[in-house]
Structure 1
Amino acid sequence: MTTPIYVRMKQSIRIPVKKEIRLYDVAKVTGTLLKKQTIENMILHRIKAEDKNIIVIDSYSIVDQIVSRFPEREVEILGPNQCVVHIERKKKKPPFFVVLFIWLLLFIGAAMAIMNFHYDVAMESVQQKLHYMLTGEEEKHPLWIQVPYSLGLGIGMILFFNHWFSKKFNEEPNPMEVEVFKYQEDLDHYVAIHENKVEQKDEDR
């Protein structure tokens, strides 16, 4: 009875620019009586200029190479059938004025959104009525309500997004990180289906 080689593929990875993608980059290998280092160093793909920044490594190419070298062994693929490789090329830091412009644009946009929301729900009128209910006096600008409310709004947003600049308050992902993760997962799934170079080569034969 032949002993199987177990290969657990990664769903998505990011690697710096290099000439070759080897098996250890996209998967983990285990099994008994295994020449692990030899298998892990198998070259799966040589990076070319036309590859751009995304490469899809299919499990078929892994099985094909292992079986060709070790025909007496069985190969079991665990996890996803493709690994989407994102090649991270060196990026230039954006100019300071571009960062400042984007920051001001987002700040003004967020401020306008909050102010328009408050205008739509008549927040000022609500706060005036709340002040009258609690004190029995009419006040056009009940600052003792408006100031804590404004501070609480900012603190609430910080706690909601679980970030203060680069610092996180706990290990839980914030809603933005969850949405970015879902987007990246959908993107990787799309790329794995529509840009699978191994399947395209098979169809061309």
Structure 2
Amino acid sequence: MFSLRTPVDVKSGEQIYIQYDLDKSNAELALDYGFIESNPYRDSYTITLEISESDPFYGDKLDIAELNGLGETAYFDVVLNEPLPPQMIPYLRLLCIGGTDAFILEALFRNSVWGHLELPLSPDNEESICQDEELVKREKLSSRLKVAIGVRVGEKKVLQQIDDIFKQREEELDGLEYYQERRLKDLGLVSDNGEIIFWES
């Protein structure tokens, strides 16, 4: 026999409501309970990012991620009309480090590298995170199920928002201040008009 208990009086025939975990997305509600809500807060998408074991800097990147409360795999819940999770962009920048940017992975920077990753590192690195197609790949869900369609619509909105955010970032690349410029300013090697100061011996 199924029964419910309530701390308040309920009249016979009166409609009652059950709260299903406020943190669940429509996809989770559909899987767990077979329905979705029209609340846009439920339209979210979980992005899974991972440090590849084939990355030549795998050990350094994993160490940095773990020092900052993340791991080899990180999950980020992106909610429609909400900003991206605060650690998502630094983690993406970490994943995309390579080439001449790899100096930042040295042990010398280990305690400060995450702070540097919260700001643009280099034009190449920033362009890499904006063009990461893995963020927007998603299989189409079956159109035969009404619930699945509802989930798909919500996820599509969130994925479109992610795509728009990175397209906008890509348009702003030329106007960003990168690590090299910030470091030269900190060392007093840039004049007021932005030119590098060379010291004569």
TM-score of Structure 1 vs Structure 2, range by shorter chain:
under 0.3
- With structure 2 as the length reference, what TM-score do the two structures score? 0.27
Structure 1 or 2: larger helix share? Answer: 1
Structure (1 or 2) with the greater strand fraction:
1
Select the structure of larger CA radius of gyration. 1
**TM-score scaled by length of structure 1:** 0.27
